[in-house]
Structure 1
Amino acid sequence: MIRVGTSGFSYQHWRGVFYPEDIPQRCWLEFYAEHFDCVEINSSFYHLPDKATFISWRKRTPEKFLFILKGSRYVSHIKRLQDCADAVKLFYERAHLLEEKLGPVLWQLPPRFVVDPARLESFLSLLPTDTLPVLEFRDPGWFVQQIYQLLEARRAALCVHDMPKCNCPEIIIGPLLYLRFHGVGSKYSGNYNDETLRRYADWAGKSGARHIYAFFNNDSQGYAVGNAITLREMLKQTWKCRR
């Protein structure tokens, strides 16, 4: 299974670049869902959408569409995975309003967060078992065997990303491969060239991963859209070749 999309869909600067000028913003999600079968929701990192929003998203998208939510920064950045049981419970209560359209949940940890296996294990024990968690580490100290073993044991996946200075390894940990592309040259900007995307597609295709998710966070000038479409087609080709 291959799922490729963008990190967010509601960008004003995509009007006239991806979204036609004559389509009102209230119809952007439907238009997006005509071109992609999944989206990574960044806004849930900053604030928890209300119940009506989750229900609306579910009703306005096709049957097989998936939402990948980014976990609350209150949990990951402010509480730093401690004393957060109530916040985690509320987050997932809302998230489950998406029903069958809820995909994996991405938890991004902050930079300069010193590796703490016990804290991570305690946090993972709070999460519902019916939704797969993905961990994006921004401090290189987390990329160690002890953490990988913990993720495997808890059926959690490692996010492979290209954020500068993080030194994220290109390895598969957990039941799926999850890729995030944060930009070329500067964060959230730049256009990935075909050579770079081909390298990722070839690596992913040869990795043996049965489930691949990839999201582009370089929303500037709508580059994320074109890059996502290109990588999706490349992945489909590598997927066919390994069968």
Structure 2
Amino acid sequence: MNDTHRATPRPRASTGGASHPAARIRIGIGGWTYEPWRGRFYPGDLTQKRELEYASRRLTSIEINGTFYGMQRATSFEKWHDETPDDFVFALKAPRFATHRRVLAEAGDSVERFFASGVLALKNKLGPINWQFAPTKQFDAEDFDAFLRLLPQRAEGVAIRHAVEVRHDSFRHPEFVALAREHGVAIVMAGDSKHPQIADVTAPFIYARIMGTIESESLGYSDDALDAWATRANRWAAGAQPDDLQAVAQTKQKSTPREVYLYVISGYKASNPAAAMALIERIGKA
């Protein structure tokens, strides 16, 4: 990458060192290939094959979406690992073949194929796995419990973290929250969207997807909205719970520091990188 493209390094969200809450917060976007970002987020003369290299030096994480639609090659994961900084982390959307089915308890083969497909080639850059369910999928306690039991705690000696993204109001139920907590699985916190918000903390990490960027704001969000999300992220990282989000059955949790993964998704997608970078800058100054 030439000097022009190196001129704007990413703001660091870990300026305070390992003991500072900001050191445990990662912020990014969904994917890195999107035509409207060219000339807006990416320099106009940047080749497409260097977009991940560029994005990963301005953001601290990216959620890979392609894994939701089909298996990726192990060589792709190796390439993505090698193109990104040492402290960069990817989240992966798990394959829909596992989550978009009538009986979740029968997803074992799909889960096994996913972890055998090469995802572990990301090595230390493998972050949480997001198991996203269809908006029509309703909560069935027995079947969902069976599904959560299929998710491996470790794969080839590597610890695996899981998050579940549910999009039907029936999941706003204390029994669902209890199941997620029993299995140590995070519930994806949906922000600024039509999806049900379940802000209960059920795992040692937080996985949030915020979807409210708009075209009329140069950074996707207003300054006040960016400040609010930065404050929430810092509270999560410090072990506290934001008091302005909707929990279902929140119980008192120990104030244990947590890792936070926050992705700016959907909304006015062209502005999502700008919103993510603005959040990283605010968190780094906290």
Deviation, structure 1 residue 220: 4.3
Residues 32 and 52 of structure 2 are in contact (CA less than 8 Å); yes or no, is this contact kept in structure 1? yes
Match of 2:4 in 1: none
Cα distance between partner residues in 2 of 1:28 and 1:219: 21
Cα distance between partner residues in 1 of 2:232 and 2:73: 39
State yes or no: 1:232 paired with 2:280.
yes
Report the more deviating stretch, 110-119 or 2-11: 110-119
Match of 2:233 in 1: 204
State yes or no: 1:140 paired with 2:163.
no
Cα distance between partner residues in 2 of 1:223 and 1:158: 26
Match of 2:14 in 1: none
Match of 2:111 in 1: 88
Aligned residues: 235
Residues 214 and 268 of structure 2 are in contact (CA less than 8 Å); yes or no, is this contact kept in structure 1? no
Distance 1:143 1:194, change over 3 A: same
Residues 48 and 72 of structure 1 are in contact (CA less than 8 Å); yes or no, is this contact kept in structure 2? yes
The one-character-per-residue Cα deviations of 1:91-130 (angstroms, maximum 9, x if unpaired) are 1122112121110000111112111122122112112212
Amino acid at match of 1:225: P
4+ residue segments displaced more than 4 Å: none
Report the more deviating stretch, 211-220 or 107-116: 211-220
Find the partner of 2:57 among 34, 50, 66. 34
Distance 1:14 1:65, change over 3 A: same
Deviation, structure 1 residue 79: 5.2
Report the more deviating stretch, 162-171 or 146-155: 162-171
Residues 2 and 236 of structure 1 are in contact (CA less than 8 Å); yes or no, is this contact kept in structure 2? no
Q: Is the partner of 2:105 in helix, strand or coil?
A: coil
Cα distance between partner residues in 1 of 2:102 and 2:89: 28
Match of 2:42 in 1: 19
State yes or no: 1:78 paired with 2:107.
no
Cα distance between partner residues in 2 of 1:105 and 1:197: 25
TM-score, structure 1 normalization: 0.89
Cα distance between partner residues in 2 of 1:26 and 1:182: 27
Unaligned runs of 5+ in 2: 1-23, 154-158, 240-256
RMSD: 2.1
Q: Is the partner of 2:32 in helix, strand or coil?
A: coil
Amino acid at match of 2:58: H
Distance 1:78 1:135, change over 3 A: same
Cα distance between partner residues in 2 of 1:122 and 1:25: 42
Cα distance between partner residues in 2 of 1:82 and 1:114: 14
Distance 1:110 1:213, change over 3 A: same
Distance 1:58 1:124, change over 3 A: same
State yes or no: 1:168 paired with 2:192.
no
Match of 2:244 in 1: none
Amino acid at match of 1:200: W
Cα distance between partner residues in 1 of 2:198 and 2:214: 19
Cα distance between partner residues in 2 of 1:155 and 1:221: 31
Q: Which has the higher helix share?
A: 1
The structure with the larger Rg is: 2
Residues 215 and 228 of structure 1 are in contact (CA less than 8 Å); yes or no, is this contact kept in structure 2? yes
Distance 1:4 1:80, change over 3 A: farther
The one-character-per-residue Cα deviations of 1:128-176 (angstroms, maximum 9, x if unpaired) are 2121101111011112211111111111111111364333133322111
Deviation, structure 1 residue 83: 1.5
TM-score, structure 2 normalization: 0.76
Unaligned runs of 5+ in 1: 239-243
